[in-house]
Structure 1
Amino acid sequence: MSDRSTHWDNVYATKGEAEVSWFQNTPATSLAMIRAANPDREAAILDVGGGASRLVDALLLDGYRDVAVLDLSANALDAARKRIGAAASMVDWIVADATTWRPAKTYDLWHDRAAFHFLTESRDRTAYIERLRSAVAPGGHVIIATFALAGPEKCSGLPVQRHDSASLAAELGPAFELVETRNEAHQTPWNSTQAFQFSRFKRRSQLPPSPSLPLA
């Protein structure tokens, strides 16, 4: 088990669902951006770092039938499974590190709220993006939510890498086109406010042409 897995298993083993700063009873911004991407109900949707998030509940209620949740922590996924009950059998639960995971299929939509910003080392971000590129189908969408540039510098005792849409676009590279960005003032369970940004990208079917060199 990696150090990251140990850390998050301990978090979810010692804290209740609503005792973590990132808890949302309704993941409204994530849902709005997923709906804006307009995936049909057969679309394959992956929630990276989903943990015990209630996004999976909402997606199932919306009628999506091909939903997967990936997280480092088996404890977090167990909590979500127990909460959902019988409907949990409809979800593909994946215990894995997004920087080392080997995708077995492609997805139409990749969603990540508050996982990518924990990757403070460039090698980890590169490894994450490599998995994302292999997992997202051409024409598919990527939604990444992180602490905004004015957001906290730490979360759960760990340093974070804050982002805006420009820094995320640079990480993803030219194969992904920025479609929209939304800001969110997230209210924690103890009524403090955290600045988040949500950016949605679409994977291009073809790379844009390189700029022409000037003639000599």
Structure 2
Amino acid sequence: MENTKNQHWETVFTTKAENEVSWYQKQPQTSIQLVQACKVAKDAKIIDIGGGDSYLIDNLLELGYTNLFLLDISEAAIERAKKRLGDKAQNVTFIVSDSLHFQSDEKFDVWHDRASFHFFTEVNEIEQYKNNVIVNTTQNAHLIIGTFSEDGPLKCSGLLITQYSVEKMEAVFGEDFELENCFTEDHQTPFDTIQNFIFCHYIKK
């Protein structure tokens, strides 16, 4: 299973241009604002999970954040981000891994995940993901998750996903994380379609 997942994403990132994928955003404004709302120090450890070649890292670097981590299952995606960032990449630690089997000696202050969490469709995977967040974050860490809402698509990049409501998010994270903020938002894809997302900002209890 793991290898087919890897192959799927390597194919996506080696055959499609950055603006040919539905999650493309030149200015990921919502994610930027949610990270800023965490009010963490500029050298806080911030990890972008399944960030691919997303522009969040570029924008955070421009805002002066200096301790950034980018995790993606696809090496091609990571290479693309490195190339684009050029010299600025020295403030970023790149990690090729899937988010379930990722183990780190670092503890992160902000865990950000837009459009990666919803690919987990099995109860045990979702539970493992949550436990991974708990293990790999600091005491009062911030958890920001953007995922397809119940008004969003049922598939992404040809794969089935799990849709979420506030209640469903709370059922997963509510016991270990305090909900700060939650809202839905329409994302316009490069193909002029609309995807409805739910964004939740949690603080670790």
Alignment TM class, shorter chain as reference? over 0.9
Q: Which residue pairs with 1:34 in the alignment?
A: 35
Query: Partner of 1:195: helix, strand, or coil?
Result: strand
Retained in 2: the 8 A contact 1:103–1:131? no
TM-score normalised by structure 1 residue count: 0.92
Query: Partner of 1:128: helix, strand, or coil?
Result: helix
Residue 5 of structure 1: how far off its partner (Å):
1.2
Q: Which residue pairs with 1:140 in the alignment?
A: 141
2:57 and 2:26 mapped to 1: Cα distance? Answer: 12
1:134 and 1:173 mapped to 2: Cα distance? Answer: 16
> What amino acid sits opposite 1:154 in the alignment?
K
Q: Which residue pairs with 2:153 in the alignment?
A: 152
Residue 151 of structure 1: how far off its partner (Å):
0.3
1:149 and 1:56 mapped to 2: Cα distance? Answer: 28
> What amino acid sits opposite 2:167 in the alignment?
A
Q: Post-superposition, which runs of at least 4 consecutive aligned residues in structure 1 deviate over 3 A?
A: none
1:175 and 1:153 mapped to 2: Cα distance? Answer: 27
Q: Which residue pairs with 1:130 in the alignment?
A: 131
1:65 and 1:127 mapped to 2: Cα distance? Answer: 29
Query: Partner of 1:2: helix, strand, or coil?
Result: helix
> Structure 2: which 5+ runs fail to align?
none
Q: Which residue pairs with 1:185 in the alignment?
A: 186
CA-to-aligned-CA distance 1:147-181 (integer Å, 9 cap, x gap): 01110000110001011222122112422000001
1:181 and 1:106 mapped to 2: Cα distance? Answer: 24
Query: Greater shift after overlay, 46-55 or 169-178?
Result: 169-178
Q: Which residue pairs with 1:209 in the alignment?
A: none
Q: Which residue pairs with 1:109 in the alignment?
A: 110
2:61 and 2:199 mapped to 1: Cα distance? Answer: 22
Q: Which residue pairs with 1:7 in the alignment?
A: 8
Query: Greater shift after overlay, 44-53 or 1-10?
Result: 1-10
Residue 127 of structure 1: how far off its partner (Å):
1.5
1:116 and 1:160 mapped to 2: Cα distance? Answer: 9
CA-to-aligned-CA distance 1:8-34 (integer Å, 9 cap, x gap): 011000000000011001000001111
Q: Which residue pairs with 1:95 in the alignment?
A: 96
Larger Rg over CA atoms: 1
Retained in 2: the 8 A contact 1:112–1:144? yes
TM-score normalised by structure 2 residue count: 0.97
Instruction: Count the aligned residue pairs.
Output: 204
> What amino acid sits opposite 2:9 in the alignment?
W
Query: Greater shift after overlay, 87-96 or 161-170?
Result: 161-170
1:4 and 1:79 mapped to 2: Cα distance? Answer: 19
Q: Which residue pairs with 2:25 in the alignment?
A: 24
> What amino acid sits opposite 2:33 in the alignment?
A
| % identity of equivalent residues | 38
CA-to-aligned-CA distance 1:36-62 (integer Å, 9 cap, x gap): 111110110000000000000001001
1:85 equivalenced with 2:91 (yes/no):
no
> What amino acid sits opposite 1:45 in the alignment?
I
For the aligned residue pairs, the C-alpha RMSD in angstroms reads 1.0
> Structure 1: which 5+ runs fail to align?
205-216
